[in-house]
Amino acid sequence: MIAYRNLRVALLGAGSVGAQVATLLTEHHDELASRVGAGLDLIGIAVRDVDAPRTAPIDPALFTTDAMGLIESADIVIELMGGIEPARSYILHALNSGADVVTGNKALLAAHGPELQAAAEQVGAQVYYEAAVAGAIPIIRPLRDSLAGDRVKRILGIVNGTTNFILDKMDVEGDTFENALAVATELGYAEADPTADIEGYDAAQKAAILARLAFHTDVPVEAVHREGITQITAAQVAQAQKAGYVVKLLAICERITDPSSGIDGVSARVYPALISRQHPLAAVHGGKNAVFVEAEAAGDLMFYGAGAGGIETASAVLGDVVSAARRHVAGGPGVAETTHANLTILPIDSVSTRYQITLEVSDAPGVLARIASLFSEHGVSVETVQQSIASVESGATRPDALATGTSESSGTATLVIVTHVASERALSRTVADIADQQVVVRVESVLRVEGA
Amino acid sequence: MIAYRNLRVALLGAGSVGAQVATLLTEHHDELASRVGAGLDLIGIAVRDVDAPRTAPIDPALFTTDAMGLIESADIVIELMGGIEPARSYILHALNSGADVVTGNKALLAAHGPELQAAAEQVGAQVYYEAAVAGAIPIIRPLRDSLAGDRVKRILGIVNGTTNFILDKMDVEGDTFENALAVATELGYAEADPTADIEGYDAAQKAAILARLAFHTDVPVEAVHREGITQITAAQVAQAQKAGYVVKLLAICERITDPSSGIDGVSARVYPALISRQHPLAAVHGGKNAVFVEAEAAGDLMFYGAGAGGIETASAVLGDVVSAARRHVAGGPGVAETTHANLTILPIDSVSTRYQITLEVSDAPGVLARIASLFSEHGVSVETVQQSIASVESGATRPDALATGTSESSGTATLVIVTHVASERALSRTVADIADQQVVVRVESVLRVEGA
């Protein structure tokens, strides 16, 4: 099935994302090969200092300081150095050498995106940059391809994890900005110099990239209106909460018409804003990112996930590498759709999950102990039990009656049992045994509990 | 810039999605051409009855009953007829005639996906089907391309809008299943025969498609374990709510290991399950869809939006048509990245949004009237005003004091004003004027309100 020659992949930079990319390319080599239709060989990693200490276990023979030489022998160049230079020169050199480029460099794309795209177009190469906006979240490809037949009206993005962590902490814990920032720094959410994040520079770069893609219009990062979150007070956040809002730093890209001149155009802006607690973006907590897209035909869409992190961002980089590689192999999505894995399809009996079982039982001493022992016999671990008396007229609950086994009522009670993860097989045997018990009037419901 | 010959697009079916696709292809012809690098000409629409009444304004000359003839003269064939036959034969004929195919036919893909993919691969054509799962939400492309370098562990999908509408109504309003279904039918969320939705057949088809894509494994729809929502009672939903859960019909695709045999495989299943109210899927209300993907490197991702609807689904179809067309033109994403629109970038002054203004004012009669008149003079419409006394020791609020203008306190009060949509220019002039008033101690904060 793998008929194409192996592709040569060069990596520029070995920071937290780069190291993860190198590890995944090596450890998942065969799996990636079967998805691409060709092996992806990591031929070298360009770094400034070959002997610098690394945390990830990377073959030291891969490191080189000769970035230009490495680039020239590659089919695909992954740039994860950050900053404008020498990243820009390296990427231009890669494109001119006929390589496709994958980059996560938002600063460079915001400042020189059009130049890089023009260089790529001239030689028929591609620049991929899914990792540059909102980390692991696929947003570039949906905007470029999935919505290519639609018209984007507005994008509201939470695209900076540091500021979202800070504002979420202020909202949830009533913290001041200063305290929340201190915690963010301590936990590694904020860098030693947090200016780029808290003053909105990082979000503005992402807004420029998103606006360009959504509106087919060059948007220089200097044209993005930018306000940071340093002036947001605990009082403002509390006031917002009282009024049903939450404060979020939003990157907004919008088709607007100037009310005075009537000129139709594009607005790209970053500022802290209030958003209704009913809005899907309000539920984006901690360091997470989300991009909410309002399109003419598609309506409202939201893309949610991890906006940063070495391994998470590496996923986006590798997705782009596979796309670039498939283009080399077949000029299309390659073997994306083959079922090379053909894993066994297991029946429902093989599934393990959590369960909620609701039983109507005699309200008599010893019932809970009897039921509990049946769970235990089948190896199903119980997480919680709640009990209420179903048959008494008042409808009042007596959560402790069965648990203590002291009830002498002749009525019935409802038991709601939630289990830890158990196998479907063990659970169904347990439920069958329970149903057979004389003290059990009926099994009212068995529902699975998912998402944990 | 448009150097390539126009591409010939054939449409099979003129139902609610098909009619919207035809309209968008015609009305957005020039815009689509600039995105593709070639015109997309709708050359015909195959229907069973040319003279059937249509709601959409489509040129009657486009209709034909000769589907096979139409297919043979097309570069791209869009199949939106639904059902297995004759859709399957038409698609195979299109592929064998060298056309790329775009389809939203989940039943066909679930039953014959591997056959269609094999036929496409043999002739080097492509089958696109973003519209087949979760309507407008881009999920196929992210799974196939964005996550191509990652390993999917589990997918939890709310992929059927009808059942989500019903379960949401039961949850929010305490409705019975029967009542909620009746309302869903009345509002057009459920079909006259709702079996395919409420018994989980529709979700099972989507689960088969998602599992195949996520795990590179053929998953026949018969192998998907399926339970519907007809047995879900109001009592269960209330019980779930009390315990911090919500009931959702989930399509679950998961890599699992059978606990008895140790066999590593795939599980695809559909059933109503409890999910924590803290989980992002719990916030998916009404007829919306969402797909939650847990990947090894990327972590948790969620894709949210409209799962059905003619115009919404047409957006997904057109995205696929553009992708297919770009492949014809350039063997790649074509002119996706050009900035052919180059719209004017408008400054922050051109933006219109809502605002929350917090003022510290003298707690004296007539203050509110004075402030209100300033808003009115600048044409800024006020939505709500809330007032609390800031300077009194007790900290108690007196929401009506200023509104009635009867206060004779010499302290200060806080006014929180939320406006309707206003222009940034008008708002900033209003705020400047307010700041100049003697009765205004200070403008505490001006925040924009977004997302409405």
Which whole-number Å values give the CA distances from B152 to A31, B117, B213, in the listed order? 13, 21, 10
Q: Between residues B430 and A2, which one has the greater pLDDT?
A: B430
**pLDDT for position B5:** 87
Residue numbers in B near A213 (CB within 8 A): 337
Binding-site residues of B for L-homoserine, in ranges, read: 191
Please check the confidence at residue B101 and state whether its pLDDT lies above 70.
yes
Quickly state the pLDDT bin for A338 (edges 50, 70, 90). Answer: low
Q: What is the pLDDT of residues B354-369, one digit of tens each?
A: 999 999 999 888 898 9
Best mutation site among A103, A144, A252 for testing chain B: the one with the most B CBs within 10 Å? A144
- Partner residue facing B148 (CB), from A35, A260, A348: A35
- CA A56/CA A434 separation, integer angstroms: 52
Nearest CA in chain A to B359: A236
Split at pLDDT 50, 70, 90, the class of A2 is very low
Residue A322 at interface with chain B, using a CB cutoff of 8 Å:
yes
- Token pair listed for B394: 């007790």
pLDDT tens digits, one per residue of A149-164: 999 999 999 999 999 9
Closest chain A C-alpha to B378 CA, distance in angstroms: 14
Q: Which of B130, B220, B340 sits opposite A216 (nearest CB)?
A: B340
Structure tokens at B302: 């969620």
User: What is the distance between the alpha carbons of residues B163 and B373, in angstroms, rounded to a whole number?
Assistant: 50
Determine contact: A269 vs chain B, CB below 8 A. yes
C-alpha distance from residue A219 to each of A106, B22, B84 (Å): 13, 32, 47
β-pairing, B264-276 vs B245-257, is: antiparallel
Chain A contact for B447 (CB, 8 A cutoff): yes
Residue linked to tokens 């139709």: A264
Q: What is the pLDDT of residue B339?
A: 61
Is there a contact between A302 and B300 if contact means CB atoms under 8 Å apart? no
| Cα A114 to Cα A214, B260, B338, distances in angstroms | 14, 57, 8
CB pairs under 8 A between A and B: 402
Q: What is the 3-state secondary structure (H, E, C) of A143-210?
A: HHHHCCCCCEEEEEEECCHHHHHHHHHHHHHCCCHHHHHHHHHHCCCCCCCCHHHHCCHHHHHHHHHH
Cis amide prior to B272 (ω within 30 degrees) = no
Question: For residue range A101-132, what is the model confidence (pLDDT) as tens digits?
Answer: 999 999 999 999 989 999 998 888 999 999 99
> What pLDDT sits at residue B409?
53
pLDDT (average), residues B150-174: 96
Residue A309: list chain B partners with CB under 8 A: 299
Residue B195 region by backbone torsions, left for phi larger than 0, else alpha for psi between -120 and 50, else beta: alpha
| Token pair belonging to B150 | 């990652």
Angle at B354 between CA A277 and CA B388, to 5 degrees: 70
Which position has the higher pLDDT, A30 or B1? A30
pLDDT per residue as tens digits for the range B14-68: 999 999 999 999 999 999 998 888 999 999 999 998 888 877 788 999 999 999 9
- What chain B residue is nearest to A323 in terms of C-alpha separation? B145
pLDDT value at residue B53: 80
Is A234 near chain B, with CB under 8 Å? no
Q: Is B386 on the interface with A (CB under 8 A)?
A: yes
Question: In this complex, which of A141, A315, A343 lies closest to B264 when CB atoms are compared?
Answer: A343
ipTM of predicted complex: 0.89
A305 touches chain B (CB under 8 A): yes
Chain A residues within 8 A of B243 when measuring between CB atoms:
356, 386, 416, 418
pLDDT at A452: 75
- pLDDT of A401 > 50? The answer is no
State residue B337's pLDDT score: 54
To the nearest whole Å, the CA of A311 is away from the closest chain B CA by: 5
What pLDDT digit, counting tens, does each position of B189-206 carry? 999 999 999 999 999 999
B 117-176: CB under 8 A from A: 117, 121, 126-127, 130, 136-138, 141-142, 144-151, 156
pLDDT at B88 over 90: yes
- What pLDDT does residue A183 have? 96
Using the predicted structure, report yes or no on whether residue B427 has a pLDDT greater than 90.
yes
Nearest Cα to Cα of residue B217 among A356, A35, A396, A401: A35
Contacts of B145 in chain A (CB under 8 A): 138, 141, 319, 322-323, 333, 336
Which among A193, A209, A188, A200 is positioned nearest to A309, based on CA atoms? A188
Contact flag B336-A448 (C-beta cutoff 8 Å): no
Please judge whether A138 and B146 are an interchain contact, meaning their C-beta atoms are less than 8 angstroms apart.
yes
From A31's Cα to the closest Cα of chain B, the distance in A is 9
Could you count the other beta carbons within 10 Å of the beta carbon of residue A123?
Answer: 13
Of residues B392 and B103, the one with the higher pLDDT is: B103
Q: CB contact, 8 Å: B3 with chain A?
A: no
Go through the domains of chain A in sequence order and give each one's CATH number: 7-135+312-330 (3.40.50.720), 140-308 (3.30.360.10), 348-449 (3.30.70.260)
Q: Is A95 on the interface with B (CB under 8 A)?
A: no
H helices within A231-361, ranges in order?
A: 234-242, 310-330
Please judge whether A259 and B350 are an interchain contact, meaning their C-beta atoms are less than 8 angstroms apart: yes
B21 to chain A: closest CA residue: A149
CB A331 within 8 A of CB A36: no
Interchain contact, B274 vs A351, CB within 8 Å: no
Annotated binding site of B for NADPH: 106
Site from A36, A350, A352, A446 to mutate, B interface, most B CB atoms within 10 angstroms = A350
Tell me the pLDDT tens digit for each residue of A187-217: 989 999 999 999 999 999 999 999 999 999 9
Is residue A336 scored above 50 in pLDDT? no
Question: CA A284, CA A442: separation in Å to the nearest integer?
Answer: 41
- Smallest Cβ–Cβ distance between B447 and the set A236, A301, A447 belongs to A236
pLDDT at B2 over 60: no
Residue B204 in contact with partner chain A when CB distance is under 8 A: no
Inter-chain contact A276–B300, Cβ cutoff 8 Å?
no
**Taking all residues of chain A, what is their mean pLDDT, rounded to a whole number?**
89
Kindly report the nearest CA distance between residue B167 and chain A, in angstroms.
14
**Is A451 in Cβ contact with B149 (below 8 Å)?**
no
On whether any CB of chain A is under 8 Å from the CB of B280, the answer is yes
Looking at every residue in chain B, the average pLDDT score rounds to 89
Residue of B141, B267, B351 lying closest to A141 (CB–CB) = B141
Confidence tier at A451 by pLDDT (50, 70, 90): confident
Q: Could you give the angle at which helices A106-123 and A201-215 cross, rounded to 10 degrees?
A: 30
Q: Indicate yes or no: CB of B315 within 8 angstroms of CB of A149.
A: yes
- The Cα–Cα gap between A316 and A133 comes to 10
Q: Tell me, what's the pLDDT at B350?
A: 85
Task: Tell if the CB–CB gap between A348 and B136 is shorter than 8 Å.
Answer: no
Residues of A designated as active site: 206
Is residue B392 pLDDT above 50, yes or no?
no
* C-alpha count within 13 angstroms, C-beta hemisphere, residue A291: 32
Quickly state the pLDDT bin for B410 (edges 50, 70, 90).
low
Q: Which candidate from B147, B299, B343 shows the least CB-CB separation from A266?
A: B343
Q: For B145, which of A212, A280, A319 is closest by C-beta distance? A: A319
% chain A with pLDDT above 70: 92
Across A277-285, average pLDDT? 93
Contacts of A450 in chain B (CB under 8 A): 156, 250, 252, 273-275
Catalytic residues of B, by residue number, are 206
Q: Picking from A41-55, B18-32, B132-146, which range would have the lowest pLDDT averaged per residue?
A: A41-55
Residues 401-440 of A with CB under 8 A from B: 416, 418, 423, 425
pLDDT in tens, B287-301: 999 999 999 999 999
Residue A337: its pLDDT value, please? 55
Of A216, A257, A418, the CB nearest to B341: A216
**Tens digits of residue pLDDT in B303-324:** 999 988 899 999 999 999 999 9
CA angle at residue A357 from A356 to A359, to 5 degrees? 150
Q: Which residues of A are annotated as a binding site for L-homoserine?
A: 191
Q: Do B309 and A321 count as a contact with CB atoms less than 8 A apart?
A: no
Percentage with pLDDT > 70 across chain B: 92
Given CB atoms, is B238 within the 8 Å cutoff of chain A?
no
Burial-class residue A147 by CB neighbours within 10 Å (0-12, 13-18, 19+): buried
Percent of chain A residues topping a pLDDT of 90 = 74
Beta-strand relationship, B40-46 and B7-12: parallel
Under 8 Å between Cβ of A133 and A103: no
- Reference A328, options A103, A126, A65, A151; nearest CA is A126
Reported as a pLDDT band with limits 50, 70 and 90, residue A142 is: very high
Shortest distance between the Cα of A140 and any Cα of chain B, in A, equals 9
Whether the per-residue pLDDT at B408 is higher than 60: the answer is no
Tens of pLDDT, residue by residue over A217-257, are 989 999 999 999 999 999 999 989 998 999 999 999 999 98
The pLDDT, as a whole number, for residue B338 is 58
Q: Which of A239-253, A341-355, B406-420, B436-450 has the lowest mean pLDDT?
A: B406-420
